[in-house]
């Protein structure tokens, strides 16, 4: 099999894994709160990644960093998994999954906006138009396609889903500057993220034992979202001849996610959600073309 064919298989496997997570979130949240979901899934992801490092003789190296490395991991772990999933899972707990996953998908546009003050990048009017196009999709989703009245299902849930995209974009901006090996970085992020979540529940919640179905769904989330999917995507990136050949496949994920939401938990999918998501993705894709054209110039 050609190397590029393997890249497509790995990429599609990662996308399929990611596409099941929204459904798993909803199943898990039936029997536990969002804080316990984050705590258990973080612990599972931490143990999974730690085991991979142990079997590849990299675990010792992960703990042999400098003080600056640990501070960086502490900061990144605070952004992701702690803040990002804390906010996103709270959104999933109070609005339909289709809204949470679609609104969170605005993060590439949020990344462009944050790069202006943080990376001192400039954007032209074409990029601004792309951003406005994506945000029009946000309005369509949040307002259920209504142009005559406000139909937002839950203002707080919509706001949290959008805010989660800010934390995810910030994580990627700061993560790019960290030159350590990816699995080692991610493992330490989850070590700190698990610690933050444990402290958060100690102060703002109480420890409860979830039901078996929710625990199984949460274990699945920890293994698949931050374990298998990550490994598949990493292999795809190493196998492909060009990241552009597989990066656009990611846009399949939210649509496959909605199919699973409808098929497994019976969530009715609004036409307005599909239209809004289409506008968001169109703005992201056009923004990529604008960026590529500017780099050529």
d(CA 218, CA 196) in angstroms, rounded, equals: 18
Distance of CA 75 to the CA centre of its chain: 17
Which two three-digit tokens encode residue 216?
A: 């199984």
Segment (H or E) for 147: none
| pLDDT per position as a tens digit, 41-89 | 999 999 999 999 999 999 999 898 889 999 999 999 999 999 999 999 9
Q: Are 228 and 44 in contact (CB under 8 A)?
A: no
Q: How does residue 149 score in pLDDT terms, banded at 50, 70 and 90?
A: low
Q: How many domains in the chain? A: 1
Whether 150 shows a pLDDT value over 90: the answer reads no
Q: Looking at residue 122, what is its pLDDT?
A: 82
pTM (two decimals):
0.91
Q: Are 274 and 258 in contact (CB under 8 A)?
A: yes
Q: Looking at residue 38, what is its pLDDT?
A: 96
Q: Looking at residue 1, what is its pLDDT?
A: 67
Q: Are 167 and 86 in contact (CB under 8 A)?
A: no
Whether 296 shows a pLDDT value over 60: the answer reads no
Segment 88-107 shows an average pLDDT of 94
The domain of 28 spans 3-296
């Amino acid at each position: 099999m050609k190397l590029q064919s393997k890249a497509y298989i790995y990429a599609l496997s990662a996308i399929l894994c990611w596409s099941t997570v929204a459904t798993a979130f909803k199943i898990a949240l039936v029997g536990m709160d969002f804080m316990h979901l984050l705590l258990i899934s973080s612990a599972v992801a931490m143990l999974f990644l730690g085991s991979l490092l142990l079997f590849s003789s990299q675990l010792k190296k992960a703990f042999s960093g400098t003080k600056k490395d640990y501070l960086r991991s502490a900061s990144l772990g605070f952004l992701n998994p702690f803040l990002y999933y804390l906010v996103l899972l709270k959104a999933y707990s109070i609005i339909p999954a289709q809204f949470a996953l679609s609104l969170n998908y605005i993060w590439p546009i949020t990344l462009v906006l944050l790069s202006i003050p943080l990376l001192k990048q400039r954007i032209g009017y074409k990029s601004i138009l792309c951003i406005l196009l994506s945000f029009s999709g946000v309005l369509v989703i949040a307002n259920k396609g209504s142009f005559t009245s406000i139909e937002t299902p839950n203002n707080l849930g919509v706001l949290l889903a959008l805010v989660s995209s800010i934390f995810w974009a910030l994580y990627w901006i700061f993560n790019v500057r960290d030159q350590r090996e990816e699995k080692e970085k991610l493992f330490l992020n989850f070590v700190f993220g698990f610690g933050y979540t444990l402290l958060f529940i100690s102060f703002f919640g109480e420890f409860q034992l979830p039901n078996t179905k929710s625990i199984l769904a949460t274990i699945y989330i920890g293994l698949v979202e931050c374990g298998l999917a990550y490994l598949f995507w990493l292999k795809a990136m190493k196998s492909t001849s060009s990241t552009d050949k597989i990066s656009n496949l990611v846009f399949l994920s939210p649509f496959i996610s909605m199919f699973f939401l409808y098929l497994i938990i019976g969530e009715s999918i609004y036409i307005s959600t599909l239209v809004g998501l289409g506008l968001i993705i169109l703005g992201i894709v056009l923004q990529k073309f604008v960026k590529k054209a500017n780099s050529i110039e």
